[in-house]
Amino acid sequence: MTDLKHSSASSATSGAGGATSPLDAQRRRLRLPFILPAVIFYTVFFVAPSLASFVISLYRWRGAGDEPEWLGLGNFLRLFNDDIFRGAFVNTLIVLLVVGAIIFALGFFFTAFVAEMRGKHLLRALIFFPSLVNPVVLAIAWGFILDPTRGALNTTLEAIGLGNLKQVWLGPQLIFPMILLTMAWMTVGLFTVILMAGADRIPVSLYEDCDLAGASIGQRFRMVTLPLLWEVAAVAAVLWVITAVKAFEFIYAFAGVGTAPPRSTWTASVYVYMQGFGSQGLPELGRASAMSVVMLIVVGVLVVVLRRLMSRQKVEF
């Protein structure tokens, strides 16, 4: 449809022999003034800092009035031997894959089944609610719920006679799984709403056809909803990759209070912060920038791979 529109517009404006109308010429002249402010804004606030990060990543620089020391790719090479970076990188991938699997599984579940229920708008609002609250507030609240001594979870389990299920939820073994679960709880609403909005665009007539053919809810989802939702799901997956790799404030507030959270909970973003600003000593801005550059490349590669994997023949409806 879009392609058709473009080609007809193009032929209409080009006319016979490629002559352009005065209106088209005016439009072209206006393009630059319209896009220039955005380009300047984007360049100054996004492109320039990104390039600056890359430049800084080639130096050892503490950002405290000191002379930058040229290291070339030294900061990058060091990352390959850095156990902490490896651990943080693996944790980032775990967040990406495990939390991603949970939120998309739940997102599709809600889209398939909740969409059919009465009161779905209320339910959608309830699921979405955690996405509206500041992640730092949620992280602190979960900390108090899961605290083993006075937390609501253990206290409730004790009160209802299930004291044997009590755990040290924030202890070294469980703290990272708890971070994953609570992150999934916090994020699932946003992605469910995106998927449901995509599902709302599917013509009702297709579902009526399914009803006439006697299809079950599962079949309707597999045959109609999923194929027609695929493009939306692909965009949501890209959004999730970007969100997951940048995950920082929730983990920092969940695991630490004013001091560094335990190393076992660090993701790459937390490590970047610790190197750049979080320690009690002087920052290592060169190393922090090198990590940021690596993570930017990782996001880029993941997004490209994901787009390729999820590309399908576009279904028009």
The residues that touch other proteins, with contacts defined as CB under 8 A, are 6-7, 10, 14, 18, 31-32, 35, 39-40, 42-44, 47-48, 50-52, 55-56, 59, 61-66, 68, 78, 81-84, 143-144, 146-151, 154, 168-172, 174-175, 255-264, 274-275, 277, 279-284
Which of 78/120 has CB closer to other proteins?
78
Q: How far is the CB of 279 from other proteins (least distance, A)?
A: 3
Q: Which of 84, 110, 123, 119 is nearest to 198 (CA)?
A: 110
3-class SS of residue 46: helix
Which of 52/309 has CB closer to other proteins?
52
Which of 54/128 has CB closer to other proteins?
54
Task: Give me the helices (H) in the chain, please.
Answer: 2-14, 22-42, 48-56, 74-80, 83-94, 100-113, 120-132, 135-146, 152-159, 175-200, 204-213, 217-220, 226-246, 249-255, 268-273, 285-310
Which of 72/258 has CB closer to other proteins?
258
3-class SS of residue 143: helix
Q: How far is the CB of 20 from other proteins (least distance, A)?
A: 10
Which of 14/134 has CB closer to other proteins?
14
Q: How far is the CB of 254 from other proteins (least distance, A)?
A: 9
Q: How far is the CB of 188 from other proteins (least distance, A)?
A: 24
3-class SS of residue 60: strand
Are 237 and 303 in contact by the 8 Å Cβ rule? The answer is no
Q: How far is the CB of 151 from other proteins (least distance, A)?
A: 7
Q: How far is the CB of 21 from other proteins (least distance, A)?
A: 14
Which of 81/313 has CB closer to other proteins?
81
What is the C-alpha separation between 53 and 297, in angstroms, rounded?
Answer: 13
Q: What tokens appear for 185 in the block? A: 């709880």
Residue 4 CA: distances (Å) to CA of 8, 11, 14, 312: 6, 11, 15, 20
What is the C-alpha separation between 43 and 186, in angstroms, rounded?
Answer: 33
Q: How far is the CB of 307 from other proteins (least distance, A)?
A: 20
Are 87 and 263 in contact by the 8 Å Cβ rule? The answer is yes
Which of 140/310 has CB closer to other proteins?
140
